[in-house]
Amino acid sequence: MTKRVAVLPGDGIGPEVTAWAVAALQAVGRRFGHDFAFAEGLIGGRAFDETGSPLPAETLALCRRSDAVLLGAVGGPKWDENLPALRPEAGLLGARAGLGLYANLRPATLHPFLSDLSPLRSAVTGGQFDMLIVRELTGGLYYGARGRDGERVFDTMVYTEAEVERVGRRAFALARSRRRKLTSVDKANVLDTSRLWRSVMHRLAGEFPDVAYEDMLVDNAAMQLVRRPGAFDVLVTENMFGDILSDEAGMITGSIGLLPSASLGAGTFGLYEPVHGSAPDIAGRNIANPAAAVLSAAMLLRHSFGLAAEAEAVEQAVAAVLAGPRRTADLARAGDMVIGTAEMGGQIVDRLKA
């Protein structure tokens, strides 16, 4: 059966890195006998320039006809003066809401052979760690009522039990498939929304007795991520806390160019994108690291298509290239050969073909 993938390259370096994610999926298809069909759509600044909207109706329809979405990046200073509803980022937020993508998965992995790139000492990291942050994606402050009344400004954080339960249930299931440990992050000593969050998570913990569960206040979680990152397996938290903590976790891996993400809804449909931005300053210069986009394709294979062995093959290909002496500038050490986007992507795809 043909698997349909909507490809939204977006802005800046998005088209460059997304091309290698597509190439990796094509290599997987040839190696494992799968048929992937790709259809391209517009999103972000480029979509605004061509259609007047950062999320054209045609793009949303394309995504809904597809089994998964592969996205590059959106944004750039060219569109900074746009009204909020017409900024490139509004296209991404609209896609998440319009496609019902409520759970954002952000893995943060430090490979032993790249441990010296982490800003943390090896005595702290143990030379490696592997955590997954699950961020609620369609509720909280970012989607609540907001406004200005003279000198008074407000943003509203709202959650329902159903919203907390669906992302919590997803996080418990993911923890069960990993090392069976889940940390729920909240601010229950201050916020009523966090007290609701904690009560729902405690109820769910009773349904997953095989998963070790703990609560952690967000300020302590921020500290523990840099004090003992290896102690975490899966963390689950609300939208704003997840936005902040996942960036912190990504930073301690040593390079944002290695960080993929998945945004999931009900069933197997998902949107997959690298964590890094559009980086317009290096767009078109054959500098960007395509590894995060390729690893996002691996997440697509695992979570939307249920192809665990194929996903692992992609991850192993990336790891093999990262362990070698030829890498993009963001990963290069003294004595390494600095290569460009095309060379890095080509190495990964060649490994997949072998």
User: Span 64-79, mean pLDDT?
Assistant: 96
Residues 129 and 243 in one domain: yes
Q: Which pLDDT value is given to residue 227?
A: 94
Domain holding 323, by residue range, is 1-109+254-354
Q: Which pLDDT value is given to residue 233?
A: 97
Residues 23 and 82 in one domain: yes
User: Span 148-162, mean pLDDT?
Assistant: 95
pLDDT in tens, 10-32: 999 999 999 999 999 999 999 99
Mean pLDDT of the chain: 94
Residues 200 and 274 in one domain: no
Checking if the pLDDT of 112 tops 90, the result is no
Residues 330 and 208 in one domain: no
Task: Say which CATH number the domain at 58 has.
Answer: 3.40.718.10
Evaluate whether residue 146 is within a structural domain: yes
Counting DSSP H helices and E strands in the chain, the numbers are 12, 14
Residues 206 and 156 in one domain: yes
Evaluate whether residue 169 is within a structural domain: yes
Identify the active-site residue in 143, 187, 330, 336: 187
- Annotated catalytic, 247? yes
Last residue of a domain, one of 232, 252, 272: 252
Measure Cα distances from 156 to 97, 152, 195, 284, 294 in Å: 17, 13, 16, 40, 36
Residues 226 and 154 in one domain: yes
Amino acid at 265: G
- Annotated catalytic, 49? no
Residues 73 and 50 in one domain: yes
pLDDT band at 330 (very low <50, low <70, confident <90, very high): confident
112, two tokens: 């032993």
Residues 303 and 286 in one domain: yes
Evaluate whether residue 114 is within a structural domain: no
- Annotated catalytic, 213? no
Higher pLDDT, 125 or 155: 155
Q: Which pLDDT value is given to residue 124?
A: 86
- Annotated catalytic, 155? no
Does the pTM of the predicted model rise above 0.85?
yes
Q: How far apart are CA 344 and CA 290, in angstroms?
A: 7
pLDDT in tens, 298-307: 999 999 999 9
Q: What percent of the chain has pLDDT above 90? A: 84
Residues 231 and 123 in one domain: yes
Residues 161 and 238 in one domain: yes
Residues 7 and 97 in one domain: yes
- Annotated catalytic, 186? no
Identify the active-site residue in 49, 215, 247, 336: 247
Identify the active-site residue in 219, 281, 350, 353: 219
User: Span 314-324, mean pLDDT?
Assistant: 93
Burial level of 69, CB count in 10 A (0-12/13-18/19+)?
buried
Evaluate whether residue 196 is within a structural domain: yes
Identify the active-site residue in 3, 11, 243, 272: 243
Residues 125 and 88 in one domain: no
Burial level of 270, CB count in 10 A (0-12/13-18/19+)?
buried
Last residue of a domain, one of 252, 283, 309: 252
Give me the number of domains the chain comprises.
Answer: 2
pLDDT in tens, 227-250: 999 999 999 999 999 999 999 998
Last residue of a domain, one of 252, 276, 303: 252
Identify the active-site residue in 78, 142, 181, 330: 142
Lowest-pLDDT choice from 19-23, 217-221, 250-254, 330-334? 330-334
